[in-house]
Amino acid sequence: MSSFYEKVQANTETFLSWRKKRRRIRKEKEQKKNPVVDWIEAFLWAAVVVLILNQYFFQAYTIPTPSMVHTLEVKDRLFVNKMIFGPELIPGRFKTSTGRIPHRNEIIIFESPTYLSKGPVFDITQRLIYMITFSLVDIDRDRNGDPKPHFLIKRSMGQAGDQLRIIDGEVELKPAGYSEWLPESDFKQLAGKEYTTRRLLDAKDYPGIRASAFMDAADYAHIATNSVWEEEYATLTNRYTDMYSWGNYRYQAMYEINPQLHQYGSAWRKGEQGWYIPEGWIFPMGDNRDNSRDGRYFGPVSLEKVLGKASFIYWPLNRVRVIK
């Protein structure tokens, strides 16, 4: 029995001596370590933690344009919940899914369908720098030095099975199972979510926009302009123009001038009929309707491109709030 206790005591003493020696060696190494190296190690560890948080949990994002005014203002800094729909395993690659899809009228961030990638190496590098600096540094810029629209933040308007169209800047929706088109005010109630949209144009501006588009089409076709168009165009005093509606009016005019050019008739009817949102897709729109580049210009967006849901604003301090 005493032999057993002696062995335990000997092993314990050996372990304690080894641990003491190890701590002494570690302390000596730390004392010899260059302070700069120590600072770099601390920075790298902090960067790794920030990357993990941004990549898999909450990513910092800065609002670059007024497309969501007054819901989100330019230069608002916010966190995007990336867990809710499923994060990417690495930046820009291998999107996972939780099975949760954006609800109608939720504010989401997604990869722009019109973004032209410079290659996977650049994309990953850009995303890493963007996340490490909490969205303060974006190396992906255009010739003018402005950040390219790699990520967009909009409201999820249309869901799978919906039909959606825009008439003179106003949204109309025909949800799955409905036979009538509903104005936006009605389907806000369907979603049980109130929000404020901003219009820079009035209904009275659209005759002038239509006239402008028809006059442009007439000029392109080398025919005389209609005096009615000129009179309507003269009433257009707003400096903002609904380019989506203008383009659709122009397709209509080009088709009426040249009925044999079926491509114009097809584009015009497509604008009149709107979009059908298939399974696995959503239709995003900005709240600042007359100053937003959104689904009206690039169509529905795949759920695989949806990175997360806008969660809360953390800067500036006077705007700190949960995003609804």
Question: With bands split at pLDDT 50, 70 and 90, how would you rate the model's confidence at 171?
Answer: very high
17 or 297: which leads in pLDDT: 297
For residue 173, give the H/E element and its range: strand 170-174
Beta carbons of 110 and 307 less than 8 angstroms apart: yes
Distance CA 308, CA 313 (A): 14
* pLDDT score, position 298: 92
Output phi, psi for 74, to 5 deg: -55, 135
Model pLDDT for residues 233-270, shown as the tens digit of each residue: 666 666 667 889 999 999 999 998 888 888 999 999 98
Question: With bands split at pLDDT 50, 70 and 90, how would you rate the model's confidence at 8?
Answer: low
**Portions of the chain given CATH number 2.10.109.10:** 50-162+279-322
Output phi, psi for 62, to 5 deg: -110, 130
Mention the CATH class of domain 50-162+279-322.
mainly beta
* pLDDT score, position 236: 65
- Average pLDDT of span 293-316: 94
The reported pTM is: 0.80
What is the amino acid identity at position 323? I
Question: With bands split at pLDDT 50, 70 and 90, how would you rate the model's confidence at 9?
Answer: low
Model pLDDT for residues 106-128, shown as the tens digit of each residue: 999 999 998 888 888 888 888 88
Distance CA 111, CA 117 (A): 11
Could you give the C-alpha distances from 291 to 30, 33, 57, 62, 134, in angstroms and in order? Answer: 57, 56, 31, 18, 26
Distance CA 23, CA 190 (A): 65
Check whether 2 has a pLDDT greater than 60: no
- Average pLDDT of span 18-43: 70
